[in-house]
Chains A and B, each alone.
Chain A
Amino acid sequence: MVDQIRHMCVGINQILEQIHGFSRRCLFRVISMGPLPIHLAFIMDGNRRYAKKQDLEDGSGHKAGFSALMSMLQYCYELGIKYVTVYAFSIDNFRRKPEEVRSLMDLMLEKIKSLLDKESIVHEYGIRVYFIGNLALLSDQVRAAAEEVMQATAENSRVGLLVCVAYNSTDEIVQAVKKSCVTKLDRDMETIQLVDIEENMQMSVAPDPDILIRSSGETRLSNFLLWQTGSSQLFSPDALWPEIGLRHLVWAILNFQKSHSYFEKKKKKQM
């Protein structure tokens, strides 16, 4: 009897999921009648506050955050967004308590390795994964795992996932300046041009983001993509990152569509 009820619940769950998926695809079909962003960026803020709010143990907030990230990636790639960038770990975050940093690194290692699984989202959507940041600051294990994933997905070309880890914008700018200078030395040329710095920016693998969403209602960029967001529309929904959902994404895209002609006009004037 109990088994029958359990089977019935699983069945109902599956039907609800199918209905949910079908409704979502219909909604995406409607939204696609307007211009869609090519590149979306997320600042995944609020995992710790979520854990505190839900009275969970330390670290559970980040796990919940990872699930939210997987859902958002699924929605983005289903909708046809080509690039998604996420701020996973800032250079400033190294200043947190050592136990917290260690637990975050362990979680990151586990999740990076899981990207290589056959059933992972990487294979489902043909994602090319980039790890952007000062990877030398990471432990050997995490760095090796990241490099392995980048190599394994190098042939994928459908969509891109840029994971910013041990990253901040000012460090990215300095590294780009350094690489530009070293290149100039090699070629015996004396002045750096803007195009040299732009091509040496780690984020140059993708176009500038159209939309940047920071969860938990904070209105600052916290040293994320400062160079690349001159033409990005910024959103700060109040939801904490693990609470972020389809409605926040849809809201951002509908507002992007309203301002699309404004940004197009601005880009034309700059050319």
Chain B
Amino acid sequence: MDSNEPMLLLSSRIGQIGDLGLDLLWRFLHIVVSLFHIVSGIFEAIQSYAISLGLIQKYSSVDIEKLRCLAVVLDIEVARDVAKVVELLQWLKTIGVKQVGLFDSQGLLKKSKDMILEMVPGSTLLQETGEKDISPDRKEGIAIEFISSSDNKEAVVKAANILLKRHLKTSHPEKDEGNNVFTESHLNEALRVVGENVHVPDLMLVYGPVRSHLGFPAWRLRYTEIVHMGSLKYMRYGSLLKAIHKFTGVRQNYGV
């Protein structure tokens, strides 16, 4: 019995030393990852300044017509910095973006929408435009849409209830399989009725610590290119131009 105790103590100590060793190795791995991010961040910053100064030829012109609808996803912490959001919108307007959807999950930007529209000259609130082209009067301005989580799953619930009511109106709802009511185009239309914009953004810029769409309306995300731009506080015009330029070079197969 007595001889077991030192053995147990020894194996416990060895276990603790082993765990400490593993922990150190784990931290070392993470230091390597952080170093990689720092170095690539520095290169990216240099390239961005070069682009802003017009030193890199290929970014001097952007085929902005390809970008019909842009989405900007902002992390909640970032969305509180309205001044930076306004600056971003002014840059987008300068580049020639005509339509932008601003998303933050808690709707902080929705609450500040009047202030934002006032601070961005030439901006208008995007109304549901249906399938028609944007009128030529709005050529110079930028149309802004404010989106939050309530436009995601909750909107689908409202649209689902519209489809349910429609299905109940059919002569034999219990027997009817609902193939005439429950289709993608019907849900699309029901979302419009609920007041949602169903246009699919071509490009999404994510400002925040992580590349994630953070709950942007799922129904609209099908073929959207999602690009992580990093922190809004340290945003750079050159990086913005590069992201939009890269998008214009993308060719999608749409699964075919």
B29 touches A259 (CB 8 A): no
Given known pairs A93-B255, A233-B210, the reply for A220 and B223 (CB within 8 Å) is yes
Query: Does A258 lie within 8 Å of B182, measured CB to CB?
Result: no
Determine if A193 and B164 form an interchain contact, defined as CB atoms under 8 angstroms apart: no
Whether A221 touches B224, Cβ cut-off 8 Å, given contacts A30-B25, A174-B182, is yes
Q: Which of A191-236 contact B (CB under 8 A)?
A: 191-194, 197, 218-223, 226-227, 229-235
> Which residue of the partner chain, among A95, A180, A194, A257, contacts B154 with CB atoms under 8 Å?
A194
CB-defined A-B contacts under 8 Å, sample of 27 = A30-B22, A34-B26, A169-B218, A169-B222, A170-B187, A174-B187, A177-B163, A177-B187, A180-B160, A181-B167, A185-B167, A185-B174, A192-B157, A220-B225, A220-B226, A221-B221, A221-B226, A230-B105, A230-B152, A230-B212, A231-B215, A233-B212, A234-B226, A254-B33, A255-B33, A258-B34, A270-B105
**B156 adjacent to A33 (CB under 8 Å):** no
Give the nearest-CB partner of A234 in chain B. Answer: B211
Tell me if B222 and A234 are in contact (CB < 8 A). no
Cβ–Cβ < 8 Å partners of A110 in chain B: none
CB neighbours of B234 from chain A (8 A): none
Task: Given A171-B184, A262-B210, decide whether A31 and B29 contact each other with a Cβ distance below 8 A.
Answer: yes
- Measured CB to CB, the closest approach of chain A to B27, in angstroms, equals 8
The interface residues of chain A lying within 8 Å CB-to-CB of B26 are: 30-31, 33-34
Once the chains bind, are B209 and A259 in contact (CB under 8 Å)?
A: yes
A169 CA to B200 CA in the complex, in Å?
14
Which A residue sits closest to B187, measured CB to CB? A174
Evaluate contact between A173 and B161: CB separation under 8 angstroms: no
Is the Cβ of A259 less than 8 Å from the Cβ of B182?
no
How many residues of chain B are within 8 Å of chain A by beta carbon? 51
Cβ contact within 8 Å between A219 and B212: no
Which residues does chain A contribute within 8 Å of B223, judged by CB atoms?
A: 220, 222-223
Residue of B nearest to A193 (CB): B157
Which of A30, A34, A257: most chain B CB closer than 10 A?
A30
The reply to whether A263 and B163 form a contact with Cβ atoms under 8 Å apart is no
Report whether over half of chain A's contact residues are helix, strand or loop; otherwise say mixed.
helix
Q: In the complex, which residues of chain B have a beta carbon less than 8 angstroms from the beta carbon of A181?
A: 160, 163-164, 167, 178, 182
| Interface residue from B25, B214, B219 paired with A170 (Cβ < 8 Å) | B219
Inter-subunit contact B182/A95 (CB<8 Å): no
Q: In the complex, A266→B26 CA distance in Å?
A: 25
Give the one of B160, B221, B250 with max A CB within 10 A.
Answer: B160
Q: Which 4 A-B pairs have the closest CB atoms?
A: A92-B255, A230-B215, A226-B218, A178-B182
| C-alpha gap A95/B156 in the complex (Å) | 27
B122 CB-CB contact with A under 8 Å: no
With A and B bound together, what is the CA distance between A175 and B163 in angstroms? 12
Q: Given the known A-B contacts A33-B23, A254-B33, are A191 and B187 also in contact in the complex, defined by CB atoms under 8 Å?
A: no
| Closest Cβ–Cβ distance, residue A189 to chain B (whole Å) | 10
Point out the residues of chain B lying under 8 angstroms from A174, CB to CB.
Answer: 182-184, 187
Q: Produce 1/0 per residue, B123-150, CB < 8 A to A.
A: 0000000000000000000000000000
CB of B161 within 8 A of CB of A92, answer no
Taking a contact as CB atoms under 8 Å apart, the answer to whether A219 and B164 are in contact is no
Q: Is B8 an interface residue (CB 8 A)?
A: no
Q: Using A90-B255, A254-B33, A262-B209 as known contacts, say yes or no to A170 and B153 having CB atoms under 8 A apart.
A: no
Give the nearest-CB partner of B33 in chain A.
A254
CB <8 Å contact, B184 and A182? no
Given contacts A31-B26, A170-B184, list 17 more A-B pairs with CB under 8 A.
A30-B22, A91-B255, A169-B222, A173-B187, A180-B160, A181-B167, A191-B164, A192-B160, A192-B164, A194-B157, A219-B227, A221-B221, A223-B222, A231-B212, A254-B33, A258-B33, A259-B210
Contacts A90-B255, A181-B167, A185-B173 hold; do A222 and B218 have CB atoms under 8 A apart?
no
Q: Which residues of A contact B218 (CB under 8 A)?
A: 169, 173, 226-227, 230
A25 within 8 A of B: no
A29–B25 alpha-carbon span in the complex (Å): 10
B210, A263: Cβ atoms closer than 8 Å: yes
B254 contacts partner chain A, Cβ-Cβ < 8 Å: yes
The CA of A4 and the CA of B186, in the complex, are separated in Å by 70
